[in-house]
Amino acid sequence: MSSIEEILELERLEKDIFRGIVADTMLTRTFGGQVAGQALVSAVRTVDEQYRVHSLHGYFLRPGNPTIPTVFLVDRIRDGRSFCTRRVTGVQDGQAIFTMSASFHVGDIGIEHEDEMPPVPNPEDLPDTSEMMSEELSWEFREWADWDLRFVPEDKVTRRRGVPAQQQVWFRYRRTLPEDPVFHVCTLAYMSDMTLLGSAKVPHPDEDIQQASLDHALWFMRPFRADEWLLYDQSSPSAGFGRALTQGRIFDRSGNLVAAVVQEGLTRLLRD
């Protein structure tokens, strides 16, 4: 499979036009996290270094074709003294498959507080899928073998009262990544689409559903490294009408809340 470095290394075709690679994949549609990560890289390359991305909001408009590259068109919506905004459209065969707005901030001094990380087992105490036989692994673990994904067992998840669907996953990239903090942010944009929609299925383990990301929002709060352990604390507050709302808080190993995610996804029942 293609490495995250290869996936996020875009070709610049024009000043504000970029092209991603065709990544090795087992998927029949382009992975949403790949499109979001590449779109963010495109936006980052059009802003001055003093600005750091603090949020993105994206919509998945059409299924992507994983056998052809995606071209990203960047619109420079605003350049201000403290904030700047970019809009990115991902295009295949002349049609938009993804659109995203990203906001950048120079950083200020302000009030500070953060959620406390929930109690969970240490990642080292959970099974490493790389030690399993390949035939024992689901396709997700084979597709993202470069990622160390360790799910917290359901009986070890600290349940919050009134929350119907919860899931917790430790994750990190298995190899050392470049030092550039922006690269880690774009890597997290890629990873944040992974496993989140699965939290909606926790109360419905026997239901066969069609899943797809519909929209995705991500906020970056504090520095982190994607090649060090991060806890993805996920929940799904609502599901109905073939859609599910999911949300996630991402903590580093020290308990700092580094990012937050909200996503709506397709959860259509499949019937014979």
Give CA–CA dist 155/141, Å, rounded.
Answer: 22
Whether 213 sits among the annotated catalytic residues: the reply is yes
Question: Given CA atoms 203, 155, 236, 59 in this order, what sign does their dihedral have?
Answer: negative
For 93: left if phi > 0, alpha if psi spans -120 to 50, otherwise beta; the answer is left
| CB 71 within 8 Å of CB 90 | yes
Angle of CA points 4, 182, 10, to nearest 5° = 50
Active site residue 235: no
Nearest-angstrom CA–CA distance, 272 and 6 = 40
Count of residues making up the chain = 272
208 is a catalytic site residue: no
Task: Provide the 10 A C-beta neighbour count for residue 198.
Answer: 18
Q: Which of 103, 213, 234, 235 is catalytic?
A: 213
CA angle in degrees (0–180, nearest 5) for 72-17-227: 60
193, 233, 235, 236: the catalytic one is 193
Residue 193: CB atoms within 10 Å: 23
Query: Catalytic one among 38, 199, 234, 263?
Result: 263
- As annotated, the active-site residues are 193, 213, 263
